[in-house]
């Protein structure tokens, strides 16, 4: 049986909690931050739990998690 490789881009972008939930970061926090309010920037910096359909795709790309 051959070894399944983990996708390194997915490994860098997602975190797995102890209960098995997958956390991701929100978009739109990399540049053009002057016009965004501090509240919006704070909300964008928080981690979010992925949706069910996205979790299945991420779990395929991370086989040993």
Tell me the domains of the chain and their CATH numbers: 8-61 (4.10.410.60)
pLDDT of res. 2: 87
Does the pLDDT at position 65 exceed 90?
no
pLDDT of res. 28: 96
pLDDT of res. 29: 96
Integer angstrom CA distances of residue 13 from 8, 26, 36, 59, 61: 9, 10, 23, 13, 12
What tens digit of pLDDT does each residue of 3-57 get? Answer: 999 999 999 999 999 999 999 999 999 999 999 999 999 999 999 999 999 999 9
Can you tell me the distance from the alpha carbon of 17 to that of 61, in angstroms, rounded to the nearest whole number? 16
């Amino acid at each position: 049986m051959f070894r399944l490789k983990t996708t390194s881009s997915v490994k860098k972008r997602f975190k797995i909690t102890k209960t098995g939930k997958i956390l991701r970061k929100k978009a739109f926090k990399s540049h053009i931050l002057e016009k965004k309010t501090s509240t919006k920037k704070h909300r964008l910096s928080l981690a979010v739990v992925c949706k069910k359909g996205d979790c299945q795709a991420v779990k395929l790309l991370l086989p040993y998690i």
